[in-house]
Structure 1
């Protein structure tokens, strides 16, 4: 991964870092906690301009987010409901509650979601499904991404050859997020199965 990123930035410079971040939005397994500090370190060595790195990585974040927004917009509410109706344990009411929550808190979610591992990519899809005004979505995404990218690029810039320590600490945070999501899924499945069993017992009576 590091060799590929180094090669990309050696070939394209700051736009290469931006391309990597755009791909990271589309393919979350590509970790921004590696791309951004490495880009900052490269800038600290004089191989790339620091301002250009910040501009292109933020541009890459916005482009990747807009692509996923487009996926959500193409999917649309009706298709989302149709897919949800076919999923086991999922109720249409679940989607409607999520929809209502997003309508109330969507702007804060898009902004702060850009700074949460995993969600920073996925949040663009429901924004597209709900057809959040694209100008507002773009502005919130740009602002959130600029903060996230600046923190990690500057960390790599200041740490120099020790930039990899950023990946270690953020990796711990990512694992915590994954653990919370996994726990939430388990709780959801247990509760929904319990509701089904109670419903069956009630119908037999």
Structure 2
């Protein structure tokens, strides 16, 4: 099995998972992969947007319905959690739209918002709009700066198989780490 066939078979699902749990790095790498011609730009943008949207919906649901789990209690003890709630109280809609663009708030914020009285349908609508804009911005950055990245890292087109392989492996490792943490946080055995 070649790298191209792996990317063709697992590239978009890997990008979906990576964008949801890792974020900007995967979104930018996905743009670079689209620039190299390995995957279509619109497919990459869709996978990144949906991955980010789905992860934030899951985290919001954790805050809303699973407040007493170890995972949510551990996250709510972090300093960013209290700060996220304070920022949310100042400007709920703006904060709900913009938290994914601020380093350190990406995972904590949807959980914190889930503990508030913001209606779930309103969060869903704001989250969908924000995930769309976020995907467009970061995938486009990777796509449009792909030529510059090629110049910096050499001729990417001749070595894009290696880059794609590394990106897929990185996303797989991130997804496994998140799955293990979530399992452990929900009461499963520690890794």
Q: Report the TM-score, using the length of structure 1 for normalisation.
A: 0.57
2 CA distance for matches of 1:132 and 1:152? 27
Structure 1 residue aligned with 2:134, among 148, 152, 155? 148
1:21 — aligned with what?
A: 19
Q: Which runs of 4+ in 1 moved over 3 A?
A: 6-11, 97-104, 161-165
Matches within 5 A, 1:122-137: 122-137=108-123
The answer to whether the aligner puts 1:56 opposite 2:47 as a matched pair is yes
Confirm or deny: 8 A CA contact 1:20 1:60 kept in the other structure: yes
2:185 — aligned with what?
A: none
2:125 — aligned with what?
A: 139
- For residue 9 of structure 1, report the CA deviation from its aligned partner: 4.3
The answer to whether the aligner puts 1:44 opposite 2:40 as a matched pair is no
Q: Which has the larger radius of gyration?
A: 1
1 CA distance for matches of 2:66 and 2:131? 24
2 CA distance for matches of 1:103 and 1:44? 40
2 CA distance for matches of 1:114 and 1:148? 8
Q: Report the TM-score, using the length of structure 2 for normalisation.
A: 0.60
Q: Deviations over 1:28-85 (max 9, x none)?
A: xxxx332112111111122111111111111101111111112111344x99xxx7xx
> By percentage of residues, which structure has more helix?
1
Structure 1, unaligned runs of 5 or more = 1-5, 25-31, 166-205
Structure 2, unaligned runs of 5 or more = 153-191
Confirm or deny: 8 A CA contact 2:87 2:95 kept in the other structure: no
